[in-house]
Amino acid sequence: MNVMSKTSSTTSHPLDPLTADEIRQAARLVRNADFATDTLKFETIELAYPEKSFLRGWTAGAPFPRRAHVCAYDTADGTVYECRLDLDEDRLTGYRTVPGARTAIVIDEIVTCAENVARHPDFIAAMKKRGITDLENIQVDPFSAGNFGFEDEEDVRIAHCYVFYRNSRHDNGYAHPVEGLNVLYDLNAGKVLKVLDRTVAPVPMDAHNYAVRFEEIADNLRDDLAPIDIRQPDGPSFTVQGRQVDWLNWRFHVEFNAREGLVLNDLQFRDGDRMRPVLFRAAVAEMVVPYGDPNYGHYRKNAFDVGEYGIGRLANALKLGCDCRGHIHYFDGIVNDTTGEPVVIENAICMHEEDDGMLWKHTDYMTMEVEVRRSRRLVVSSIATVGNYEYGFYWNLYLDGTIELEVKLTGIMNTGGMNDVSGDRFGTEVAKGVLAPNHLHLFCARLDSAIDGDANSAVEVNVVQPPMGPDNPMGNAFMAEETVLATEKAARRKRNAETERYWRLINPNRRNGMGKPVGYKLMAPSMVRAFHHAETRLAKRAAFTDNHVWVTPRDPAQRYPAGQYVNQSTGDDGIGVWTEADRPVENTDIVLWHTFGIVHLPRLEDFPVQPSVKCGFALMADGFFDRNPTLNMPPSRDGGPA
């Protein structure tokens, strides 16, 4: 049985996103500015965050400022404007231009690009060469173009398009890649720059569908699934006030924005009569998906889905009983289109409780008495469709103080045709004539540390073996060796399986019952390496993939590890550049950045639609509490969780 509740669009917290009316107000103020022209468009209209010191002192019910940040761009000359607005005073307080910046590619531009490409005479002629004259169901996928140093692309904001065919409107286009045909498109001018007809290969025509509307799927649906009914007769264990959530010992604020999508703010855990901060802010701040086929335009596939498109803009409107089960609380997401109008994504965020199996158990063999407790977790999730792929972001909070991010990847692999150069060396032929290239999904989480306060340190832990001798006569000893990461360069860290390396966030000014600094441990099972060469432009643009952990001083202007403006960026902004300053990061307000992901060498089983695969990480209390914080859980009852 599914039950729904929902948060209204009013504001009650300083971190609440802008409302629809506030987005309209901000757009109006910018349109009325002296620099505004008829060709001005809006990339982002979002909340300008209050200072952290204000947030630390703010109490519920007290007034708070409403200010906005606006990024706008003039499609006539390419100028990018960053504007500051005071919504309380209804005025523009300042602006600046950003030379060389190119804004993200947004939804209405993607739609217009696909329509214009399909009408271009050179494109129609290229399709005719391949024996395709009916373009009613042609599929054009605009892709961020990257930056490869081509002179004719230096001063234009472009998309690089890939082409697929559909046998019918609902047919799976990724089963019919049009290999060797790409289009360069000027997003600001709204016109085709060049049709790149590189090679002609047969277009695979066999259908490979997955939707229930197709007879071959509908006729083979299984009928042996017994229902699983999720019931909470007394309602959920969480309460929601605006966007602030209280769940058992946890308290946090839920944010949504166009670029990062789902964000959790001010995560605190109740320990006795104290609310103890753990993280000030947690978000997926960037990701990149580099493909491994070097030929016929496929080398340009290296999308930065957060910075070049915006995960929030592409979020799904989640459906009760389909994406989410049980007693669900929904939060809407509000973004803007290029005209400055608000776009409401209904049910962009879903929150619910899940049973999580055994929390802990012990059988006393002397008395045969059994003590067992069941675990549960609170799941806050959002799902985005980025072209062919779906990404589900699930922040899970646990009874023992653990914070986990699980990313689920599904959707359809981006395909190409079997070409005469690559063959299947750089991918897998998943259907006759259809190649799914090798690729990676690399994410970077930005974790604003607040372990019992804002003055924190990062510590690297390596497990070492003392040499055999008087202190280790049997050769069995091993121990943890801790190193405080004192500066940014020292905190550029990679995995090391030989020493079972991991990292901790500690507060050196707060001690636990054993006299040690309180802390949390980063559990990082999804560390993978990137496979682009170090001298490439991609390596510079995606410098965050060089290391699995970075630590920087908290700087509100440094929110995105690949830089503020990622589209066609040069790599001159971002975490690789910032950390060259080698600022101190010991016992101060710090951010830990964690890079994780998967290497995807496609399987036949991943086509025509990919079963979800998972990656992620967790922060687990490590000396934060003096003992197991779940001893107060009641004994488990037959038939369900406590």
Catalytic, out of 296, 389, 520, 565:
389
Which tokens in the block code for residue 623? 């000396």
Q: Indicate if 471 belongs to the active site.
A: no
Which tokens go with 606? 């991943």
**Cβ atoms 397, 250 nearer than 8 A:** yes
pLDDT tens by residue, 613-638? 999 999 999 999 999 999 999 997 75
Could you give the angle at the alpha carbon of 115 between the alpha carbons of 82 and 569, nearest 5°?
35
Give the pLDDT confidence of 270-286 residue by residue, as tens digits. Answer: 999 999 999 999 999 99
SS3 of 1, please? Answer: coil
Q: Sign of dihedral through CA atoms 98, 104, 105, 107?
A: negative
Is the pLDDT reported for residue 6 higher than 90? no
CB 382 within 8 A of CB 328: no
Beta strands in 465-548 (DSSP E): 479-484, 502-511, 517-523
Mean pLDDT computed over 505-516: 98
- Measure the CA–CA gap between 44 and 48, rounded to whole angstroms: 11
pLDDT band at 75 (very low <50, low <70, confident <90, very high): very high
- Contact predicate 327/3, CB 8 Å: yes
CA dihedral defined by 47, 53, 57, 63, rounded to 10 degrees? Answer: -30
State the average pLDDT for the chain: 95
**Residue 312: pLDDT band with limits 50, 70, 90:** very high
How far is Cα 542 from Cα 544, in angstroms, rounded to an integer?
Answer: 5
Query: According to the model, what pLDDT value does residue 639 have?
Result: 47
Average pLDDT on 235-260 reads: 97
Among 520, 484, 512, 508, which residue's Cα sits nearest to residue 587? 508
First to last CA, the chain: 19
Sign of CA dihedral 292, 296, 301, 302: positive
Please state the rounded mean pLDDT for residues 317-332.
Answer: 86
Contact 583, 487 (CB under 8 A): yes
Asked if 422 and 295 touch (Cβ cutoff 8 Å), the reply is: yes
pLDDT tens profile 399-428: 999 999 999 999 999 999 998 888 899 999
DSSP symbol at 163 = E
Report how far residue 215's alpha carbon sits from residue 173's, in angstroms, rounded to the nearest whole number: 17
Contacts 24+ apart (CB under 8 A), 529-538: 530/290, 530/440, 530/442, 531/290, 531/292, 531/440, 531/599, 532/290, 532/302, 537/146, 537/147, 537/148, 537/149, 537/570, 537/571, 538/146, 538/290, 538/302
User: Treating both helix axes as pointing N-terminal to C-terminal, what angle do 107-119 and 121-129 enclose, rounded to 10 degrees?
Assistant: 60
The secondary structure element, H or E, covering residue 107 is helix 107-119
- What pLDDT digit, counting tens, does each position of 193-216 carry? 999 999 999 999 999 999 999 999
In the set 16, 74, 141, 305, the catalytic residue is: 305
Lowest mean pLDDT segment, chosen from 40-49, 139-148, 548-557, 628-637 = 628-637
Determine how many CB atoms are found less than 10 A away from the CB of residue 98: 15
Q: How many CA atoms lie within 13 A of 314 on its CB side?
A: 24
Tokens 């290029």, residue located = 338
Q: Tell me what the mean pLDDT of segment 22-28 comes to.
A: 98
Whether pLDDT at 9 is above 70: no
- The answer to whether 335 and 260 have CB atoms below 8 angstroms apart is no
Per-residue pLDDT, 149: 93
CA distance 376 to 352: 11
For this structure, is 582 an active site residue? Answer: no
Half-sphere exposure of 54 (CA within 13 A, CB side): 11
